Amino acid sequence: EIVMTQSPATLSVSPGERATLSCRASQSLSSKLAWYQQKPGQAPRLLIYGASTRATGIPARFSGSGSGTEFTLTISSLQSEDVALYYCHQYSTWPPGTFGQGTTVEIK
Amino acid sequence: EVQLVESGGVVVQPGGSLRLSCAASGFSFNDYTMHWVRQAPGKGLEWVSLITRDGGSTFYGDFVKGRFTISRDIRKKSLYLQMNSLRAEDTALYYCATETDCIFRSWGQGTLVTVSS
């Protein structure tokens, strides 16, 4: 089983500053990596797939990068509405892939 | 607009059974593989089961061990999860989700299952 490790567990960022979230896989995924956002009390929402493709309706301040085993989700200018849990999910092995344990983004 | 509305979550005793439903609207239900994903209180996401577009194939997480059955009714545009022999560790918010190309495209708001005596 591929293990996904997200870091940090919690990220505190000032409004307007950049937030950088990491996701590491225990083996190569190529680009089969997605990011999901889960706001408090809400269902998860697809942000990024194919490591770097934004889903429909996702603001341009969200970007994904990486391939192989190292991936990054960047929020270029953090807004208050971006406070959420962020999960990476690998789908190189399917079904069902593996979720990371999540990174909580909060406002500093 | 894609809508997925889960229902059926209740408090049930250990060893009991429950059937969850997910009503789909706003999209062509036949075009999507459907999944159940759960989230225990304060925990991360855990995949439960999937059923292919035509209902011909199903898959389950290892922890299911023959206790759950996923099904779909194309005419009713609904997804189901029959859960038997429930355990305390099955307590979670259960989400249904659409999937194409191994990506979870849309999610419902979830239905809460609590297994407790």
Range A67-92 average pLDDT: 97
CB contact under 8 A, A32 and B45: no
- Supply B51's token pair: 């059923």
pLDDT, tens digit, 9 for 90 and up, residues B37-61: 999 999 999 999 999 999 999 999 9
For residue A94, the tally of other CB atoms under 10 A from its CB is 13
pLDDT at position B65, please? 85
Find the chain A residues whose C-beta atoms sit closer than 8 A to any C-beta of B: 32, 34, 36, 42-46, 49, 55, 87, 89, 91, 94-97, 99-102
* Nearest-5° Cα angle at B112, B104 to A55: 20
pLDDT, tens digit, 9 for 90 and up, residues B64-90: 989 999 999 999 999 999 999 999 999
Q: Letter for the amino acid at A16?
A: G
Q: Which residue of A has its CA nearest to B95?
A: A43
CB contact under 8 A, B45 and A87: yes
C-alpha distances (whole Å) from A7 to each of A25, A37, A79, A86, A107 are 12, 15, 20, 10, 17
pLDDT at position A46, please? 97
Q: Which residue of A has its CA nearest to B108?
A: A43
Cβ-based neighbours of B96, under 8 Å, separated by 6 or more: B4, B6, B22, B24, B34, B35, B36, B37, B79, B107, B108
Average pLDDT, chain B: 96
* Pick from A91, A95, A102: CB nearest B103: A91
Residue B90, SS3? Answer: helix
CA B53 to chain A, closest CA, distance in angstroms equals 14
Contact B29, B80 (CB under 8 A): no
For residue B40, the tally of other CB atoms under 10 A from its CB is 13
* Pick from B45, B47, B105: CB nearest A46: B105
Contact A39, A106 (CB under 8 A): no
pLDDT at position B53, please? 95
Residue A98: beta bridge partners? A90
- Supply A83's token pair: 């406070």
B74: left (phi over 0), alpha (psi -120 to 50) or beta: alpha
Contact A3, A98 (CB under 8 A): yes
